[in-house]
C-alpha cells in the first residue's frame, strides 16, 4: 500500500555523489559534508552515518547546537562544526559533545571565552572571516587586525581553523569579486601560517565546482564544505554539474480522486483557474502544509505515469489539483497504463523527470528552499541496494 505523501531518499546516490565530488578535489583536500536543516531535508542522522560508514567522511557542518548534538547522539564521531550562532549559554554542551564552534566576531569570541571559563582551552573553535558576504566574521579589509584577534584567541581556545564564505561563487559575472574574496582570505591564512591550522576553508558547492584552482594554496583550502551538490542538485540554474551527480530525493504522492471539469468551470480557492475546455482533473493529497509551495499554483507540474501534468488552481493546505486531460486521452488510446489514474496510483512531485532544480525554476526559487521546505509530516523512506 502506498501512503499519502512521502519522500524517497536514494542513499546510494548520496554516496555516489560524495565519491564523485571527492575525485574532483585536489589531493590533500577533504569534504566537510554540510548536514544543516536535516541534511537539506534528507534526514541528517541517516545521511551523516551513511557518509561516515560508507564513504569515510570525518567532517560535518551544521547550523546549530541541536543539529550538532543530534548527530553526536546518533554516533557521528568526526569533526562537527557549527557554522553560525550558538547561544552563549550552550558553551558546556559544546564541550560535552566535542563540537567545533564558529567564532562570529571578536565580541562573540570574548563572551564565549568568559562563559567557558577555564575549560576554554578545550573548546574547539574556528574564526569566521568576512571577505564580502557581510554576514558573520572578522572584516578581512583589515588583515593586521584579523591576525591580531585570531592570534589572541588561538592562545585561549583550541583553535582548529578559519573559514570564509563566497557570496556569488555560482555566478561567472561575479568572478572578479569572488577572486577578491579568495585573495584576501589567502592573505589572512598566510599571516597565520605558523599556527598550522588544519581546517582552513572557503569553498561551498559552487566555489568547489568553479573556484578550486591551483592558484589557491592547499593550506587555505583544506576542506570543501559541500552541501547541495552531495544531494545531487545545482547551486544555481546556470551551474554545470559534474557527470554522474544525481538528485537523491524523490517526492511522491497518489491519486485521491479524478473528476471531469467542464468548460467555464473554475478550480480551487479564489477561482484562480477557469477551464477553457472540458478537462479531466486529478486531486493529489499533498499541499503547502507538506511543504508543497503555494507559489506552484497554476505553475508547477506533477508527473503521472511519465506524463507531465500541470498544477491547476491554488495549492491548498493539504491537497492540490492537476490537469490530467492529456494523460486520460493517452490511457483511452492505450498509450499509457490503464490504471495510471486509479485511486492510490503514484504521482511524482519531485523526481528525475521534474527535479527540485526544475521546480525552483518554475517559481523563481532555488532548489535549496524546495527541499528544505518539505515538512516533517512527510515521512522519509530510505532506499539502498
Residue numbers annotated as active site: 36, 269
| Beta carbon of residue 10, minimum distance to ligand PLP (angstroms, whole number) | 18
**Cβ 206 to ligand PLP shortest distance, Å:** 6
Among candidate residues 309, 306, 295, 273, the one with its CA nearest the CA of residue 365: 295
**What gap in Å lies between CA 38 and CA 46, rounded to an integer?**
10
Q: Which has the closest alpha carbon to 47: 230, 205, 208?
A: 230
Give the interface segment with ligand PLP, choosing from 108-116, 221-229, 262-270, 300-308 (CB under 6 A): 221-229
Residue nearer to ligand PLP on the CB measure, 201 or 252: 201
The residues pairing with 280 across neighbouring beta strands, listed in sequence order, are: 260
Alpha helices of 74-156 — where are they, by DSSP H? 91-96, 106-116, 143-154
For residue 35 the three cell numbers come to: 548536514
CA–CA distance, 210 with 203 (Å, rounded to integer): 9
Give the residue, chosen from 83, 91, 267, 321, that forms a contact with ligand PLP under the rule CB under 6 A: 83
**Among candidates 224, 238, 296, 210, which has minimal Cα distance to 28?**
224
205 in contact with ligand PLP (CB under 6 A): yes
Choosing from 41, 132, 227, 285, the residue that interacts with ligand PLP (CB under 6 A) is 227
- Among residues 33, 188, 222, 226, which is the contact residue for ligand PLP, using CB under 6 A? 226
Q: Please, what is the minimum distance in Å from the beta carbon of residue 349 to ligand PLP?
A: 22
Which residue in the set 34, 71, 216, 309 belongs to the binding site for ligand PLP (CB under 6 A)?
34
Q: Which is nearer to ligand PLP, 83 or 321 (CB)?
A: 83
CB under 8 Å to 368, separation ≥6 — which residues? 40, 227, 228, 233
**Per-residue binder mask for ligand PLP (CB under 6 A), 231-260, x = binder:** ----x-------------------------
Binding site for ligand PLP (CB under 6 A): 34, 36, 83, 165, 204-206, 225-228, 235
Amino acid at each position: 500500500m502506498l501512503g499519502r505523501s512521502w519522500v524517497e531518499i536514494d542513499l546510494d546516490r548520496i554516496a555516489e555523489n560524495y565519491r564523485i565530488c571527492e575525485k574532483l578535489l585536489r589531493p590533500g583536500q577533504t569534504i566537510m559534508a554540510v548536514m544543516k536543516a536535516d541534511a537539506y531535508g534528507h534526514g541528517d542522522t541517516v545521511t551523516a552515518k551513511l557518509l561516515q560508514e560508507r564513504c569515510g567522511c570525518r567532517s560535518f557542518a551544521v547550523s546549530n547546537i541541536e543539529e550538532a548534538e543530534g548527530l553526536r547522539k546518533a554516533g557521528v564521531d568526526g569533526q562537527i562544526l557549527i557554522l553560525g550562532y550558538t547561544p552563549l549559554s550552550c558553551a558546556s554542551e559544546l564541550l560535552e559533545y566535542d563540537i567545533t564552534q564558529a567564532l562570529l566576531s571578536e565580541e562573540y569570541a570574548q563572551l564565549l571565552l568568559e562563559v567557558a571559563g577555564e575549560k576554554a582551552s578545550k573548546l574547539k573553535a574556528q574564526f569566521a572571516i568576512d571577505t564580502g558576504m557581510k554576514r558573520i566574521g572578522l572584516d578581512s579589509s583589515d588583515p593586521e587586525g584579523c591576525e591580531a584577534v585570531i592570534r589572541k584567541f588561538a592562545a585561549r581556545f583550541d583553535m582548529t581553523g578559519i573559514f570564509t564564505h563566497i557570496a556569488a561563487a555560482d555566478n561567472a559575472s561575479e568572478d572578479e569579486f569572488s577572486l577578491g574574496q579568495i585573495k584576501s582570505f589567502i592573505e589572512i591564512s598566510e599571516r597565520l601560517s605558523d599556527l598550522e591550522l588544519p581546517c582552513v576553508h572557503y569553498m561551498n558547492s559552487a566555489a568547489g565546482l568553479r573556484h578550486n584552482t591551483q592558484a589557491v594554496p592547499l593550506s587555505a583550502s583544506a576542506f570543501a564544505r559541500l552541501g547541495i551538490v552531495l544531494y545531487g542538485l545545482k547551486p544555481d540554474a546556470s551551474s554545470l554539474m559534474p557527470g554522474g551527480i544525481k538528485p537523491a530525493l524523490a517526492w511522491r504522492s497518489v491519486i485521491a480522486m479524478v473528476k471531469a471539469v467542464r468548460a467555464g468551470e473554475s478550480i480551487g480557492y479564489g477561482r484562480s483557474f477557469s477551464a477553457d475546455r472540458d478537462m479531466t482533473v486529478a486531486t493529489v493529497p499533498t499541499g503547502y502544509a507538506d511543504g508543497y509551495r503555494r507559489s506552484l499554483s497554476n505553475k508547477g507540474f506533477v508527473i503521472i505515469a511519465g506524463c507531465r501534468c500541470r498544477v491547476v488552481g491554488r495549492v491548498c493546505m493539504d491537497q492540490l489539483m492537476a490537469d490530467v486531460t492529456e494523460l486520460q486521452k493517452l490511457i483511452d488510446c492505450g498509450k499509457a497504463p490503464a490504471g495510471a489514474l486509479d485511486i492510490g496510483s503514484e504521482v511524482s512531485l519531485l523526481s528525475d523527470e521534474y527535479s527540485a532544480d526544475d521546480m525552483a525554476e518554475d517559481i523563481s526559487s532555488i532548489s535549496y528552499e524546495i527541499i528544505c521546505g518539505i515538512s516533517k509530516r512527510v515521512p522519509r523512506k530510505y532506499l539502498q541496494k
